[in-house]
Amino acid sequence: MIAKNPNIANEKPTACLALADGTIFYGKGFGAPGITTAELCFNTAMTGYQEIMTDPSYAGQVVTFTFPHIGNVGVNPEDDETADPVAEGMVVKWDPTEPSNWRAAETLTAWLARRGRIGIGGVDTRRLTRAIRQQGAPHVALAHDPDGNFDIQALIAAARGFAGLVGRDLAKQVTCAQSYRWDQKRWAWPQGYEARTAPGYRVVAVDYGAKRNILRSLVSAGCDVTVLPATATAEDILALDPQGVFLSNGPGDPAATGAYAVPAIQGVLERADIPVFGICLGHQMLALALGAQTVKMNHGHHGANHPVKDLETGKVEITSMNHGFTVDAQSLPEGVTETHVSLFDGSNCGIRLADRPVFGVQYHPEASPGPQDSQYLFERFAEAMRTGRTTVSA
């Protein structure tokens, strides 16, 4: 099935998105030429396309942006969440325009081309998003050829041959190669990013695909952060004498990453005096280490407008999310309390141990991009290190 695009009716298409079911979307290519295969998801955020493309949690995925104005503020080095884009490509409704923002250092098109990532514009993203919601996240092949030459059958075959995300450990692909210290705080006007110079709580952050603004939020909350690779053992972590252990976000199937991450976390949990805080994949790793299970979602949660209810306070937070797997709340063992749920579908969004300073959330409280309703969680982690409690006063 071919999806016609009225925007390029009189032009030869230079990009093609082929779904594994044979559906074809044509459009105008931008960024780097080439072909990539991935899982296709959609993101509903109205801002932050650069942060989304550089979020390591998007490894193995092409992102459809439901908001039409993509590229209008350009890109700049300050907004990268990691050194290079991690998402395989992007799908947008309107072709990126010239940026109109004082912080822009480069156009989105030039940035993608220089970083080797493919974009396709002029696509009916509403139709594509509905298909993802109804049928689940499809496997796709995305091609950009300035001459407009496409082997459609080969692209469909490539989409069908994509291995998918189930059973894949992608954390090893995006984690740091060696340990390092992080002292940069969150951005603030007018000075920008500043380094923390005061002593802080010794925190070991296990990097399953950590975003820079998560590390900055830890530092701003009073932490002295040392980052270790995803494969760090309990011995590696405890050798640094941490006052707290942080488990980062990341991509792929948590059960696959758990093969080596779960034993490490369980080794840390043997020390009852060390607070542990997990975000996104780190939350899922923590749940697995405590005896729960994770499952693949139909199309996941990707956006900056997801309502989450805190079951302990009754408050509702608007959160930023990016995950295709979730903790199965029905599998939570005795002693593990569900603390947060999604108001979209009731899926688990938070857990804690009943009597230990150990907790995690499925969403991204660093808000990059997104609302800042959940920044308090970093302060809660710092408070847990100070007092040994998992909660602070609301």
Catalytic site positions = 280, 364, 366
Dist CA 52 CA 58 (whole Å): 8
Listed in sequence order, the residues at least 6 apart from 3 whose beta carbon sits closer than 8 Å to its beta carbon are: 23, 24, 25, 26, 123, 124, 127
Q: Token digits for 79? A: 């907004």
Query: Phi, psi at residue 94, to the nearest 5°?
Result: -110, 145
Please state whether the peptide bond connecting residue 190 to the residue before it is cis, i.e. omega within 30 degrees of 0.
yes
Residue type, 56: P
117 class by beta-carbon count within 10 Å (0-12 exposed, 13-18 middle, 19+ buried): buried
Triad 40, 60, 92: Cα angle to 5°: 40
CB 61 within 8 A of CB 383: no
Q: Token digits for 152? A: 């459609």
CB 80 within 8 A of CB 112: no
Dist CA 108 CA 87 (whole Å): 14
Dist CA 333 CA 3 (whole Å): 47
Run of H or E residues at 150: none
